[in-house]
Amino acid sequence: MALKTRIWMTGNLDWFALIGGEEVWLGRREVPAPLEEGDAWVNQIGDSFRVEDGEIKLLGRVDPPEITW
């Protein structure tokens, strides 16, 4: 699958994407790698994403996942 959304990783291992002309933080470890059609995740602040038709879609805000150490 060819991903149509432009993504990049910073030196702090944060993933970002250009979605709708805006820079959006995708998350860190919660981002599936490699990204494939149908992959979905929620980042630490509760933004929900899904890969549809080769593009990363921002679905909206949900309750952030509970972190257990």
Segment 54-67, tens digit of pLDDT: 999 999 999 888 87
Domain that holds residue 40: 7-61
Tell whether the model's pLDDT for residue 16 goes beyond 90: yes
Position 1 in a domain: no
Answer whether 20's CB lies under 8 Å from 30's CB.
no
Position 12 in a domain: yes
Q: Please return the burial class of 35, using the count of CB atoms within 10 Å of its CB with bins 0-12, 13-18 and 19+.
A: buried
Q: What is the pTM of this model?
A: 0.89
Mean pLDDT, all residues of the chain: 93
State the pLDDT at residue 64. 84
Distance CA 28, CA 1 (A): 22
Position 35 in a domain: yes
Tell whether the model's pLDDT for residue 20 goes beyond 90: yes
Distance CA 22, CA 11 (A): 20
